[in-house]
Amino acid sequence: MAEGRQEFERQLRELGISPDEGLPEPRVSFDYDVSAGRFKGKRVKLGFEVPVNFPITPPPGPHVSPRILPLNPGSTSHPDKTAESPFGDNWEYWSRPFKNWKGTEDVARYLVFIDHLFNTIQ
């Protein structure tokens, strides 16, 4: 079985999602239509730095473009922490770790988590 970015991208394609080409390892990005919450109907780019041992370890929180939340890198609380992203100037990093990953180790479940994040933004 493949691991890391290769496996993450394979699972995206199984879901009908085309990852962007040309990003350096271990980055993956793709178009994402927000389906719920305050930004419902908005198309953004999601980016992830996929661990080499994915699916054993999930990616850390998402990188989002364009920036839609105010930057708040000094926050000590995950739901409020948003910082500059290494993906580029128009990106932001959301510090939102996936808890209870064990037993749900796939991209489809991770995207349910992303849907939940967007649905709960105040």
Q: Indicate whether 51 pLDDT > 80.
A: yes
The percent of residues above 70 in pLDDT, for the chain, comes to: 98
Topology adopted by domain 4-119 = Ubiquitin Conjugating Enzyme (3.10.110)
Q: Indicate whether 60 pLDDT > 80.
A: yes
Rounded mean pLDDT of 20-37?
94
Q: What is the pLDDT of residue 97?
A: 86
For residue range 92-112, list pLDDT tens digits in order.
999 888 888 987 789 999 999
Q: What is the pLDDT of residue 1?
A: 62
- Specify whether the CB–CB gap between 87 and 65 falls below 8 A: yes
Q: What is the pLDDT of residue 122?
A: 72
- Indicate the average pLDDT of the chain: 92
Give the residue extent of every domain in the chain: 4-119
